[in-house]
Amino acid sequence: MSKEALVEHLAWRLASLWPANLPRKLLIACSGGPDSAALAHLCCQAGDSCLDQVALAHFNHGLRGDESDQDQIFVEDLSRRLGVPCYAGKWTPLPRESLPHQDRNPQAAARKARYDFLLETARQEDYPVLATAHQREDQIETLLLNFERGGGDGAWLGIRDRIRMQGVWVLRPLLETSRQSLLDYLAAERLPYRIDSSNLTGKYRRNRLRAEIGERIKTESAYQALLQKRQERIQEEQGWLRLLDEGRKGFLSSPGSLVLPRSFLEALPEDGRFFCLRELLRDLRPAAAGWYPVRRAPLRILFTWLDNGKKGTLCLPGGIRAELRERTLRFSLSAGS
């Protein structure tokens, strides 16, 4: 794909993903690697056609010592060459033994700290939209990893191209672009980038999977079949979103509280119930990490009560309280949650 085609495609993707009525100010998460370096250059080249203001944000997680520091220096220099602001943050991890068990994986903890920094920077510097450089192969890897882990909740969703996190819209405009197209663009334009040495080791599951992708998805038709199944799932969920948008007109919502008719959820199939209620709970707890603030098991209990006409109160994870009344459901946040 030529440079002109890449720029045009990126501009189209940004326009199609951009939330309505938001300023065209974009913060780009830039590690310095080939994907994010390409995204930074392409966004700046797209210029006035789709963006009014661009900035880079880099998070130095420090896991690779001097190499991590050199990544930061590279991104800061890149921002100067592009003539855009750069916001850098550095992570000081806590001692492993002082962390909760679920946070003791250093890579997972670094990813969480990175997103916390990126979202906080976007809010503080008044950038309503954050872009990450996930591309087509990242999507394939994520889908295959999901299936390897058992294909549970959200397996077919993979990486969402647009999601709201902690008050910031996160866009992935390169999800339809191949890694090779980006590498070819960087080579043709003689644009430098950094190589993360940890991506070259077989120590991590995603790296092992990345090495196997050529064998598991050998042809374009196999790739298209994989994404076709994903698209079918997305279309199904878009139908539920339309129902949810219509239903919201009859809901009562205030900070920390939501009331809806029991009949709204009673009329939906099981997957539709899970999806719509989780979307509502995400709005109730906008700072909740991940896609789903509540997993399926607790919600199954709630739906059993719903189907049996039962009334009462359930305490859900995340400090969410569910009250089943005669005709309504009320969700609220417990004190201190």
* pTM > 0.85: no
C-alpha closest to that of 271 among 125, 153, 104, 181? 153
Task: Please state the rounded mean pLDDT for residues 67-81.
Answer: 94
pLDDT of residue 190: 97
- Does position 289 have pLDDT exceeding 50, yes or no? no
100 exposure class (CB count in 10 Å sphere: 0-12, 13-18, 19+): exposed
Let me know: does 103 contact 146? Beta carbons within 8 Å. Answer: no
Segment 68-74 shows an average pLDDT of: 93
Helix, strand, coil in percent for the chain, rounding step 5:
55, 15, 30
Q: Enumerate the domain spans of the chain.
A: 3-218, 232-333
What does the mean pLDDT of the chain come to? 84
Q: What is the pLDDT of residue 282?
A: 81
Q: Is the pLDDT of residue 154 over 80?
A: no
Domain 232-333: state its class: alpha beta
pLDDT value, residue 202 = 55
Tell me the fold of 3-218: Rossmann fold (3.40.50)
Q: What's the half-sphere exposure (Cβ side, CA atoms, 13 Å) at 195?
A: 4
**pLDDT at position 235, please?**
81
Q: What is the pLDDT of residue 117?
A: 95
- 80-128 pLDDT tens trace: 999 999 999 988 766 555 455 545 566 777 888 899 999 999 999 999 9
